[in-house]
Amino acid sequence: MNELNPSGWRPAMGTAPITREIETFTGNRALQLEEALLFEIGSSDRSGVDFDVVADFDLSALGPNVRKTAPNLPGLSEPETVRHYTRLSRQNYAIDLGVFPLGSCTMKHNPRLDEKVARMPGFADVHPLQPVQTVQGALSAINELAVWLIKLTGMHGVAMTPKAGAHGELCGLLCIRAALEAKGDPREVILVPESAHGTNPATAAFAGYRVENIPATADGRVDVTALTARLGPDVAGVMITNPNTCGLFERDLKVIADAVHAVGGYVYCDGANFNAIVGRVRPGDLGVDAMHINLHKTFSTPHGGGGPGSGPVVLSEALSPFGPLPFTARQVDGSIKLIEEEDADLEHPQAFGRMCAFHGQMGMYTRALAYILSHGADGLRQVSGDAVLNANYVLRSLDDVLEAPFGPAGHCMHEALFSDDGFADGFSTLDLAKGLIDEGYHPMTVYFPLVVHGAMLVEPTETESKAGLDQFIGAMRSLAERAKAGDELLKSAPHLAPRRRLDETLAARKPKLVYKHA
């Protein structure tokens, strides 16, 4: 035991009280090197490569677009260039370095088998403008993945082209809008519970709907009484997340769906948390009409850094006729046809249009299909079971040092939710999150969901071992005790990262995105 770890739990490896910082002349810390900008390393009056002299030629065709001065591009040698980007890469946190405990994001290991499949000739170099007869293998893979997604969700059809979760949300709502317009039934309102994902209200507003909030009950689930009381002829549908952002299963989803259908509306389910129920629950059996599936979450394709993502949308029988183009269809002779606009009048006349220029994200399709086939139905069922087991292990290992607002009422699903209640005055979730960086971890999701004050949302996923989780739990316990004890060093964390604590509000509101040369 020590003053920073009064509980007696073993802190994460390398944890020690920080007494002072060692300053160096260069600003470097061992192999963690301080890296300047390329413009500061290189110079525009030199080059790292030799160019042949180009004979004079007439630039008059460019008119006023001819440059008056040479571009101010930094010239670097090859070693300088390689070292620059290698040093920057060392400042990245990655799933290959440690657990990514971001709640709601499902950041898990990407199996190398899937990566190998995605790099196979014929998949890696396929082009969206190739003639259909030359890409039958690729289209067959897309079609097989679509069949699996339909079977796993108990739905009727699937739109494969959406590029991410929010893009899939928009696709689902546009299907709902198209279905209502086909009936001559203009409706204006989408109901979004407090326990739904934060992108849901934005997507509904973007689709042209007026968003109305539905409160949560004390146990963190949708208030069914409030929702059913609001239903009426102006309600186009409800957007519900299941399991929800409190890490809880919405037990009344079938009751909600029946009530919404009774007034002529539709049910959109946010499928970002499908990893917690895959192989165990089919959303179609619960009355869901549309649900996006994040291939970069449940099916372990690369995630983070802005993409590449993929968010196919499964559709009920009521909405399938209105799904977007293009889509694959297997013909009588066994070949795969890509249904495009020229085929729509005969084969898909009620399609609302396209979500993107081409057929989707081929690299994600191949990885997801390899993941599904390598696991099989029984393996996918184990995936969700292990994800829930790991989350509950984290919940029960921390609920004596961190307030778990819904923990005492039972177990969680895929993620454990905590709050900063009980911290010393002036200490908050942000301080614990910044302290995690010094411990060598990426912080968990913070201040979300909004229904919990100082929320800390931890999703370990199924790919973390018990030993790895124990190390993370040890770091969390140590930091929680420090926050409760009012350790002032925590207020200025991180101390060991390449940068100290930044003004994140100012960075978001007044970003400096352009380098201005002196």
pLDDT digits (tens, 9 = 90+) for 173-206: 999 999 999 999 989 999 999 988 889 999 999 9
Res. 307: pLDDT tops 60: no
* pLDDT tens digits along 440-462: 999 999 999 988 999 999 999 99
Say what the pLDDT of residue 67 is: 86
Sign of CA dihedral 452, 497, 95, 514: positive
Query: For residue 238, what is the enclosing H or E element?
Result: strand 235-241
What does the block give as tokens for 93? 């946190």
Say what the pLDDT of residue 12 is: 46
Report the distance separating Cα 480 and Cα 248, nearest Å: 24
Burial of 109 (0-12, 13-18, 19+ CB in 10 A): middle
Say what the pLDDT of residue 17 is: 53
Say what the pLDDT of residue 122 is: 86
What CATH class is the domain 133-368?
A: alpha beta
Judge contact between 497 and 438, C-beta under 8 A.
yes
Report the distance separating Cα 94 and Cα 498, nearest Å: 16
* pLDDT tens digits along 211-225: 999 999 999 999 999
Rg (Cα) of the chain, in Å, rounded?
26
- Who has greater pLDDT, 41 or 292? 292
Map out the domains of the chain as residue ranges.
38-89, 133-368
Say what the pLDDT of residue 280 is: 96
Report the distance separating Cα 489 and Cα 434, nearest Å: 11
pLDDT > 90: percent of the chain: 66
Say what the pLDDT of residue 241 is: 95
Report the distance separating Cα 517 and Cα 176, nearest Å: 51
Say what the pLDDT of residue 6 is: 43
Using omega within 30 degrees of 0 as the cis cutoff, is the peptide bond preceding 308 cis? yes
The overall average pLDDT reported for the chain is 90
* pLDDT tens digits along 76-106: 999 999 999 999 988 888 888 899 999 989 9
Query: For residue 192, what is the enclosing H or E element?
Result: strand 189-193
Judge contact between 418 and 398, C-beta under 8 A.
yes
Report, as an integer, the average pLDDT of 60-77: 86
Largest CA distance in the chain: 79
* pLDDT tens digits along 224-261: 999 999 999 999 999 999 999 999 999 999 999 999 99
- Who has greater pLDDT, 73 or 439? 439
What does the DSSP assignment read for 5-20? BTT-PPPSTT------
**Residue 80 in 3-state DSSP?**
helix
> In which band, very low, low, confident or very high, does the pLDDT at 8 lie, cut at 50, 70 and 90?
very low
What does the block give as tokens for 188? 């204006």
Say what the pLDDT of residue 188 is: 95
Q: Which residue has the tokens 């994460």?
A: 12
Say what the pLDDT of residue 20 is: 55
- Who has greater pLDDT, 138 or 33? 138
Say what the pLDDT of residue 366 is: 95
173: left (phi over 0), alpha (psi -120 to 50) or beta: alpha
* pLDDT tens digits along 308-342: 789 999 999 999 999 999 988 888 998 888 888 77
* pLDDT tens digits along 46-61: 888 887 877 777 888 8
Report, as an integer, the average pLDDT of 151-157: 97
Report the distance separating Cα 95 and Cα 101, nearest Å: 10
Report, as an integer, the average pLDDT of 359-387: 95
* pLDDT tens digits along 482-504: 999 999 999 999 998 888 888 88
Whole-Å CA distances, 297 to 126, 304, 397: 24, 10, 25
Report the distance separating Cα 277 and Cα 427, nearest Å: 36
Res. 295: pLDDT tops 60: yes
Say what the pLDDT of residue 305 is: 57
Sign of CA dihedral 420, 424, 428, 431: negative
Altogether, the residues listed in the chain come to a count of: 518
> In which band, very low, low, confident or very high, does the pLDDT at 29 lie, cut at 50, 70 and 90?
confident
* Cα–chain center distance at 167: 12
Res. 33: pLDDT tops 90: no
